[in-house]
Structure 1
Amino acid sequence: MSDVAAKRRIALVTGGTGGVGRGVCLRLAAQGYRIGFTYNSNKTGAAELGKEIEALGGAALFDNPDISDPEQADGFVARVIEEFGRLDAVVNAAGPYAHQRFISTFTSDQFAHHVRYELVAFFELVRATLPHLRESSGSLTAVSSMALRRYPARDALSSVPKGGIEALIHAVAVEEGRFGVRANAVGPGVLEDGMGVNLAATGDVPPKMRDAVIRQVPLGRLGLGDEVAAMVCFLVSDEAAYVTGQKIDVDGGYGL
């Protein structure tokens, strides 16, 4: 892709201030993309990321809409289109923190919360952006989880909604390929940074458990959010023009 072509390309990234989302934004900005991204509560981090995107030669628009709400999803997408004129890539890297709990212990409200802010939010993102991706023959990429291949106990609040997200990815790949739209997913393993920091801080993944996971990773270490972002950006790129309906785990071999 030429520099001129790249500078005409627009991406929408949810969860832009997260470990993976931030890496995606910066990598795409370095290629000249203009980016609309969402954040949850880290307004300062969002402003800093916007400046970094601009320093790399890109342009940024950001806000904290509730994408699970149809009106807010439509509103943010409309702002991106109004500001940048088109949409070539959508990356879903947002999701609430998921406490590690046994199925027998979480409530209906807890489960519904995760279904809404992960699965329903992803559907609304797809619904709102698909007409624009058809126009550009664009790409949709979701950050999912390697837990759908190797399920770790107590991870249902995170992995169950992501199972639905992956099903939606398959649906888009099969039904929208005729318009040139590609849809794929990337499954992070246990990460050193990003959500991995939160899991350690809350005690959901204590040091002994973390060490046990590392011993089971063939590459002998935890991953980094930017390593996941690299795979996401490959799937966004023209290099992956014949890749759709796939789920690629970036987990150091932990899922084997």
Structure 2
Amino acid sequence: MSFERDFPANKGAALVLGGSGGIGSAICTAFAEAGTNVALTYRTNKQAGEEVVAAIETAGRSGAAFPLAMEDRTAVNETLQDVIKKFGRIHTVVNASGSHIAMKFLGDIPPDEFWRVMESDTAGFYNVVHALLPHMRKEGGSFVAIGTTGMFRWPSKDALSVIPKAANDAIMTGIAREEGRNGIRANSVALGLIDAGLFLKLKGTAYDDRYIDAAVRNSALKRLGTAEEVAQAVLFFASNRARFVTGQTLVLDGGYSL
């Protein structure tokens, strides 16, 4: 997919929130290979962010990594201004960020832990949306959120992933409905088990062999997804190929939620 063809007017950069992670880094690389500059954020892992920037530059595009705790509104505003100053324009925002969570039954989650994740993942995403909408209204653009298939088939002990993403999905619907008149689209990619990112960190603990085997067995395609497959879905939503698509969710779970 070529941005030179699909984004003829889109000078500037895509911004990938959480672009240093396993899925986020694949999205950054795919954007760069498609021909657009990429800005990405990371929370604490500066080295991972720098490695993604190197991959972006290897693909022939300009990249930059910015540390960001999205629940910090002042930091959000300052960081976004730095991105705009460097690249001139943000034409696409991809929310691939997410907290490292504990797998617990809903009733076992302490309120403080629940609100910490909501503050980081949902209030944080809203901080970015609120800060960027005035900028994106000038020339239009696209939001793409990474969601979860858990909104369609509840996965036990995954409340701290599903609930914030469900709230973010509502924010995306609001953007799609209210900002379409300004040339802004908003779509989501709802993921099942993807063999990358947080899944790898939880593999062997929260996701033991029995859990993974059951998930694969209960899917239609009988396998896990890949970060590259997620990246291609994100690219479609961000591109002009989806220019008449907004407010939609693509379920990328191998048929698990059927």
What's the TM-score once normalised by structure 2's chain length? 0.95
Selected match of 2:120 from 113, 117, 132: 117
Q: Give the unaligned 5+ runs of structure 2.
A: none
Deviation at 1:194, TM superposition (A): 1.6
Distance 2:195 2:87 in 1: 34
Q: Give the unaligned 5+ runs of structure 1.
A: none
Q: Quick one: which amino acid aligns to residue 153 of structure 2?
A: R
Q: Secondary structure at the match of 2:187?
A: strand
Q: Quick one: which amino acid aligns to residue 166 of structure 2?
A: G
What's the TM-score once normalised by structure 1's chain length? 0.96
Distance 1:178 1:100 in 2: 40
RMSD: 1.4
Q: Quick one: which amino acid aligns to residue 246 of structure 1?
A: Q
Aligned match of 2:70:
67
Q: Secondary structure at the match of 2:203?
A: helix
Distance 1:240 1:178 in 2: 16
Q: Quick one: which amino acid aligns to residue 238 of structure 1?
A: N
Q: Is the 8 A contact 1:17 1:39 kept in 2?
A: yes
1:53 counterpart = 2:56: yes
Aligned match of 2:22:
19
Deviation at 1:6, TM superposition (A): 7.2
Q: How does 1:71-220 map to 2 (within 5 A)?
A: 71-201=74-204, 203-220=205-222
Q: Secondary structure at the match of 1:173?
A: helix
Distance 1:76 1:108 in 2: 30
Q: Is the 8 A contact 2:23 2:196 kept in 1?
A: no
Distance 2:228 2:116 in 1: 27
Q: Quick one: which amino acid aligns to residue 8 of structure 2?
A: A
Which structure 1 residue ranges, 4+ long, deviate > 4 Å from structure 2? none
Deviation by residue 1:231-252 (Cα, 9 ceiling, x = unmatched): 0111001100001001111100
Selected match of 2:223 from 221, 226, 232: 221
Distance 1:122 1:57 in 2: 29
Distance 1:2 1:142 in 2: 23
Paired residues, number = 255
Aligned match of 2:238:
236
Q: Is the 8 A contact 2:218 2:256 kept in 1?
A: yes
Deviation at 1:7, TM superposition (A): 7.4
Q: Secondary structure at the match of 2:137?
A: helix
